[in-house]
Amino acid sequence: MSNSTRGILVVVSGPSGVGKTTIVHEVIRRLGGEFSVSATTRARSEHERDGVDYHFVDQATFQQWIDEGRFLEYAQVFGRSWYGTLRAQVESALAQSHLLVLDIDVQGARDVKIAMPSAFAIFILPPDEETLLKRLHARGREDEASIERRFAQAKTEIDFAQSSTVYDAFVVNDDLEVAIDQLCDLVRARR
């Protein structure tokens, strides 16, 4: 198998409001990759589709899947809902020489790198803290207390990402198009 057709697992992380979901979906579109659909116990919003945005399952099913070893990584987020990456989807995509992209938090990225050291982990950084806080406010999704909680978590995640050995590369999202191009270039070079 040539390097250009080798399957690759790309792990993308970044704090809330940094634009990682937009970046991830555009990279997948440009490079012909697949998005890893996580399982979650949180309620489905009216715009989400089961099996496309997430695999929505109840707490008992999620626990059963943990017990059966179905997850490559899993975590409880903000002490509420559980999220996890299904091992079978990752293994299937790689066996078929596909590009599979995971959009997961720093804890999940660490767990994936432990389980699959060949995974290529990229962290999306904001240009600075002030810009990140403005972006969190601009989303208009949450009250001030939630925004402050996410901002504090973002600073912790950035500190972890920069001080750990989990991430292979960093991309600053100051300009969305430039950040997308940089991430695409990094993945092409890794392949």
Beta bridge partners of 83: 40, 75
For 141, residues 6+ apart whose C-beta sits below 8 A from its C-beta are none
Q: Per-residue pLDDT averaged across 158-164, rounded? A: 96
Least confident residue range of 1-5, 52-56, 90-94, 187-191 = 1-5
Q: Per-residue pLDDT averaged across 108-127, rounded? A: 96
Q: Per-residue pLDDT averaged across 80-85, rounded? A: 92
Query: pLDDT at position 17, please?
Result: 86
Residue 151 burial (CB count, 10 A): 17
Q: Which residue has the tokens 């979906």?
A: 25
Beta strand ranges found along 57-168 (DSSP E)? 71-77, 81-86, 99-103, 120-125
Could you tell me the pLDDT band of residue 191, with boundaries at 50, 70 and 90? confident
Could you tell me the pLDDT band of residue 24, with boundaries at 50, 70 and 90? very high
Among the listed residues 40, 162, 164, 85, the one whose alpha carbon sits nearest the alpha carbon of residue 172: 162
- Name the architecture of domain 3-190: 3-Layer(aba) Sandwich (3.40)
Could you tell me the pLDDT band of residue 8, with boundaries at 50, 70 and 90? very high
Could you tell me the pLDDT band of residue 1, with boundaries at 50, 70 and 90? very low
pLDDT tens digits for 29-76? 999 999 999 999 999 988 899 998 899 999 999 999 999 999 999 998
Say what percent of the chain tops pLDDT 90: 76
pLDDT at 179 over 90: yes
> Measured between alpha carbons, how far is 121 from 150 in angstroms, rounded to an integer?
22
Q: Where are the domains of the chain?
A: 3-190
> Measured between alpha carbons, how far is 102 from 89 in angstroms, rounded to an integer?
11
Could you tell me the pLDDT band of residue 180, with boundaries at 50, 70 and 90? very high
Find out whether 45 and 143 touch, Cβ atoms under 8 Å: no
> Measured between alpha carbons, how far is 20 from 9 in angstroms, rounded to an integer?
16
Query: pLDDT at position 3, please?
Result: 44
Residue 43 burial (CB count, 10 A): 8
Find out whether 82 and 74 touch, Cβ atoms under 8 Å: yes
